Amino acid sequence: MRFVVIILVLLASLKVWTQDRMYRSVVGEALVEAYRDRAIEVCRKQTAKTVPVASQRTVAGLWSVASAAEITLGASDVNVALWDTENPLWQQRFRNPHLVLTGTGDSSAHCAYDLQAGVATLSP
């Protein structure tokens, strides 16, 4: 009897895990498709502001539709402690979804577009 209960618990856990993975995958793909163009535009503007020497062709080539994109929760480059919930940056660090674009070509640059605030953060 114990064996049957353990098997049922394992099957239930596998079902919940599978549903969660499928949900996150589908929602992530939908968010990427919905916000990719806006994120590319904001990342290009931010790159042009940050690197004034960069030509328009370089900026356009760095952030394009060919850039790898993924959804993450929170921005890991914001320095806020988990228990510091009164900090105004806490939402940005732990709660807001970010669309992270990876530069094309030899560049390993990342641009994190905050879907809530509509701002981009560049990292080398």
The CA distances from residue 72 to 7, 48, 91, 99, in Å, are 33, 24, 13, 7
**Angstrom distance (rounded) from CA 116 to CA 105:** 29
Q: Which pLDDT band, with edges at 50, 70 and 90, does 106 fall under?
A: low
Classify residue 68: in a domain, yes or no. Answer: yes
Q: Average pLDDT, stretch 95-107? A: 81
Q: Which distant-in-sequence residues (6+ apart) come within 8 Å of 63 by Cβ?
A: 40, 43, 44, 47, 101, 103, 104, 111
Classify residue 44: in a domain, yes or no. Answer: yes
Each residue's pLDDT tens digit, 9-44: 999 999 999 999 999 999 999 999 999 989 988 888
Classify residue 26: in a domain, yes or no. Answer: no
Classify residue 118: in a domain, yes or no. Answer: yes
DSSP code, position 26: H
Q: Which residue has the higher pLDDT, 77 or 19?
A: 19
Classify residue 100: in a domain, yes or no. Answer: yes
Number of domains comprising the chain: 1
Classify residue 17: in a domain, yes or no. Answer: no
Classify residue 9: in a domain, yes or no. Answer: no
Q: Which pLDDT band, with edges at 50, 70 and 90, does 78 fall under?
A: confident
pLDDT attached to residue 8: 97
Classify residue 69: in a domain, yes or no. Answer: yes
Boundaries of domain holding 53: 36-123
Segments in the chain forming alpha helices (H): 2-50, 56-62, 90-94
